[in-house]
Chain A
Amino acid sequence: MLSTLWASELTARLHQRFGDEVTEYSTYLAQNFLVCSPNAAIPIVEFLRAECGYDFLVDITAVDYPKRDNRFDLIYTLYSYAANDRVRVKTAIHERARPASATSIFTGANWLEREIFDMFGIEFEGHPDLRRILLPEEWSGFPLRKDHSILKQDDVWVRENLGIESGQ
């Protein structure tokens, strides 16, 4: 099933404000999302919160497409309590890009971005405390990248800290 064009009052406002920065407004299986240029993602999230009432940052996550030039998709899911509506803001960023942090807009973005850093190695510019959150701080490797095998682990860390050859 293909996605269809998403056109509403909200998209009109976004288009007026951000113009060509947003490259796609789509609806897939009754879920709305937009695709924008990397630098526009945070301004759009801020605009959605401040002026459109999307006051709940549900989730931030990433998806790895190693064969693409812009390797990672960053996805912000926002919800409006007043309008009972959910939208996704999606952008593709380069492997070495340092996207802006959403922590200045939503305090709750802190751990979500730390987890993305932990799992994908994406560094957020302006994050107050960008450290690993689930894995040990000295761990090397970013497990949710596609080129990271499921069996791979930081053997050196395991040997030094757990005193065993392998955890598997």
Chain B
Amino acid sequence: MAESTFLDASELVLNMGPQHPSTHGVLRVILKLDGEKVLGTECVIGYLHRGVEKIGENRTYVQFAPYVDRMDYVSAVANGLGYCLAVEKLLNATAPPRAEVTRVILTEFNRISSHLLWLGTHAIDMGATTPLFYTFREREEILKIFENYCGARLTTHAFRIGGLQYELYDGFEEQVRTFCAAFDRHVDEYEELLTHNRIWMGRLKGVGVLTADECKEYGVTGPVLRASGVRWDLRKAMPYSGYERYDFDIPTGANGDSYDRYLVRMAEMRQSLRIIKQAVEAIPKGPIMAKVPKVIKPPAGEVYVSTESPKGELGYFLVSDGTVHPYRVRVRPPSFVNLQALDRMVRGALVADVVAIIGTIDIVLGEVDR
């Protein structure tokens, strides 16, 4: 945005963030306003930039694994899965079936917990305090499973290159089944509170519309893309970790507005639950670690491996020069790419809508800035 446009007397420039609660972290949005109407925005990002890609070049493949958890810190398991798959691809190795199924269960749990966190905080943004208490109740159960499994709740580092470090703990299946038995009803509870709530619908319907073509133009992926009616999910399009073995649907929306993005995420939680239910009944016996060398030293080459993280397509582009350090680690962050479409979505909307739109893109600044 050119500096001179700010000087027009009828226009007001307003800073939203970086310390604004509804920006979900340290995002600063410079809004150009005409009264309540948004004429344009500019995102100022980078407050959380830690140079993850540079760190990757200065660590070994194994040492770098815990760092990726700190990008999208609410879905650390999904980040870890993508990284492990990318290095395994370089090594031309695959995790054994038992590890794959465990990975799927934990990753889908992570998708649910990420969506639950999103739902609770987004509802607060919209003025509904209650849902947070419900969603965090269930999220807590998921975090307990993570904690029981690997000792950590958020930045889990649950997977290792080649499989898993830890065997499943006693009672894992039971705990998962207990969660699954109750969760569908809990999603009904959230929906009862929100889906037909007049205020909720008034705040979200028709707000921040992004068409399918616009999504493709910007490279937007994940629930935002699906809410615009594109039935595309990497778990189906390019299955990894044995996702082709599970029976699940890709929920889509029709209008591409904030309300559809909400509905898509609600439906996705139910689908994740379906996957978990199938997976937990089919955990094969066997080793949990593939035969990968003690010192990970992939042959020289480049790969791009991407997975469907809760936010969208999370890709890792790795360049190996045959040493123990990656020559280049590039992370294709879904939040960063999706956030770019914010400007298109908020033009013509009201200031209050900006909060709804930022919320339903579902960004995590740790991943935007890396």
Contact = CB atoms under 8 A, between A and B. Distances in A.
A57 B49 contact: no
Query: In the complex, which of the residues B89, B216, B238, B370 has the most CB atoms of chain A within 10 Å of its own CB atom?
Result: B216
Contacts of B299: 1
A96 B299 CA distance: 31
Contact of A134 (B55, B58, B369): B369
Contact of A106 (B89, B217, B315): B217
Nearest to B313: A58
B219 interface: yes
A134 B46 contact: yes
Interface in B303-334: 303-304, 306, 313, 315, 317, 319, 327-328, 330, 332
A86 B315 CA distance: 12
Contacts of B303: 28-29, 31
A58 B234 CA distance: 13
Contacts, number: 91
B53 interface: yes
B130 interface: no
A42 interface: no
B92 A84 contact: no
A55 B216 contact: yes
Contacts of A58: 219, 304, 306, 313, 315, 332
Nearest to A134: B46
Nearest to B213: A55
22 contacts: A28-B302, A29-B301, A58-B306, A58-B313, A58-B332, A59-B304, A59-B315, A59-B317, A61-B317, A63-B327, A64-B328, A77-B332, A81-B216, A84-B238, A106-B218, A107-B218, A108-B340, A110-B340, A134-B46, A135-B49, A136-B46, A143-B51
Interface of B: 45-46, 49, 51, 53-55, 57-58, 89-90, 92, 216-220, 230, 232, 237-238, 299, 301-304, 306, 313, 315, 317, 319, 327-328, 330, 332, 336-337, 340-341, 369-370
Interface of A: 1, 3, 28-29, 31, 33, 55-59, 61, 63-64, 75, 77, 81, 84, 86, 88, 106-108, 110-112, 115, 119, 132-136, 143-144, 150
